[in-house]
């Protein structure tokens, strides 16, 4: 799963092929000035940053330009800053990669689809994010969750298999508990879905 910052969530990246009269790269300025286009959720890995070891003073955010109160732009990382011992630094990165590599990829099956997909649950911070991604992936509408009625009103119900092998409706338990118990996802369709939703 790529970690690139997405400009507007457009998978086709139409901007790259767009014909225009400006110089190449002249669009960068425009993008950098709006903080929302550069959310800090996904930042360059420390390994990438380490490569720019010849960074000079000027790359460190110059406070005199005035701090923005909105989401801070992704900062250029400076070698050896913040000054924490390599051992400690490595143990953080290890924790991050351990968490990342700990099998958060789960299979997603959709009734009637010829093949399965996979999603990395760690990438999402909440149910709405996950559901939106599933909607995009399968080009369908799941709608909103309600405790009483599940996904009533939709032809689809997202379900998951938990540690005990039971099929559960997505959304009932807190998100953190969900991602630690979810083994695979299945998007149920049609009458079967409606049956679950109206329990």
Partner 1 sequence: MMNYFPDEVLEHVFDFVTSHRDRNAVSLVCKLWYRVERYSRQRVFIGNCYAISPERLIARFPGVKSLTLKGKPHFADFNLVPQDWGGYVQPWIEALARSRIGLEELRLKRMVVSDESLDVLSRSFTNFKSLVLVSCEGFTTDGLAAIAANCRFLRELDLQENEIEEKKNHWLGCFPDSCTSLVSLNFACLKEINLAALERLVARNPNLKSLKLNRAVPLEALQRILMRAPQLVDLGTGSFVLDRDSDDSETYRKLRTTILKCRSIRNLSGFLEVAPHCLPAIYPICVNLTYLNLSYAAGIHGSELIKLIRLCGKLQRLWILDCIGDKGLEIVASTCKDLQELRVFPSDPFGAGHDAVTETGLVAISSGCPKLNSLLYFCQQMTNAALIAVAKNCPNFIRFRLCILDPTKPDPVTMQPLDEGFGAIVQSSKRLRRLSLSGLLTDRVFLYIGMYAEQLEMLSIAFAGESDKGMLYVLNGCKKLRKLEIRDSPFGDMALLRDVGKYETMRSLWMSSCDVTLGGCKTLAKKMPRLNVEIINENDQMEFAPEDSQKVEKMYLYRTLVGPRKDAPEFVWTLV
Q: Please state the closest distance from residue 107 (CB atom) to partner 1, in A.
A: 23
Q: Please state the closest distance from residue 85 (CB atom) to partner 1, in A.
A: 5
Rg for the chain, CA atoms, rounded: 21
Which residue, 1 or 48, has its beta carbon nearer to partner 1? 48
How far apart CA 155 and CA 151 sit, in angstroms, is 8
The footprint of partner 1 (CB under 8 A) covers 40, 43, 46, 49-50, 54, 56-57, 60-64, 67, 71-72, 75, 77-89, 91-92, 95
159 bridge partner residues = 169, 186
Q: Which residues of 144-162 are buried (b: 16+ CB within 10 A; e: fewer)?
A: ebeeeebbbebbbbbbbbb
Q: Please state the closest distance from residue 9 (CB atom) to partner 1, in A.
A: 20
Q: Please state the closest distance from residue 62 (CB atom) to partner 1, in A.
A: 7
Which residue, 17 or 57, has its beta carbon nearer to partner 1? 57
37: Cβ–Cβ under 8 A, 6 or more apart, which residues? 5, 7, 8, 31
Which residue, 6 or 45, has its beta carbon nearer to partner 1? 45
Which residue, 24 or 82, has its beta carbon nearer to partner 1? 82
Q: In this structure, what DSSP letter does residue 121 have?
A: G
């Amino acid at each position: 799963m790529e970690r690139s910052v997405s400009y507007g969530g457009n998978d086709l990246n139409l901007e790259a092929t767009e014909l225009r009269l400006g110089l190449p790269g002249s669009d960068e300025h425009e993008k950098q000035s709006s903080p929302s286009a550069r959310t800090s959720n996904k930042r360059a890995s420390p390994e990438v940053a380490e490569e720019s070891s010849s960074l000079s003073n000027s790359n460190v955010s110059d406070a005199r330009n005035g701090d923005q109160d909105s989401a801070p732009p992704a900062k250029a990382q400076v070698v050896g800053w913040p000054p924490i011992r390599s051992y400690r630094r490595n143990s953080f990165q290890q924790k991050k990669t351990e968490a990342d590599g700990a099998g958060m990829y789960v299979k997603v099956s959709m009734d009637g689809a010829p093949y399965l997909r996979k999603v990395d649950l760690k990438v999402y911070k909440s149910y709405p994010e996950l559901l939106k991604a599933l909607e995009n992936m399968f080009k369908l509408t799941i709608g909103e969750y309600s405790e009483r009625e599940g996904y009533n009103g939709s032809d689809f119900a997202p379900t998951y298999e938990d540690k005990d092998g039971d099929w559960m409706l997505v959304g009932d338990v807190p998100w953190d508990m969900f991602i630690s118990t979810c083994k695979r996802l299945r998007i149920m369709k049609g009458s079967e879905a409606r049956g679950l939703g109206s329990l």
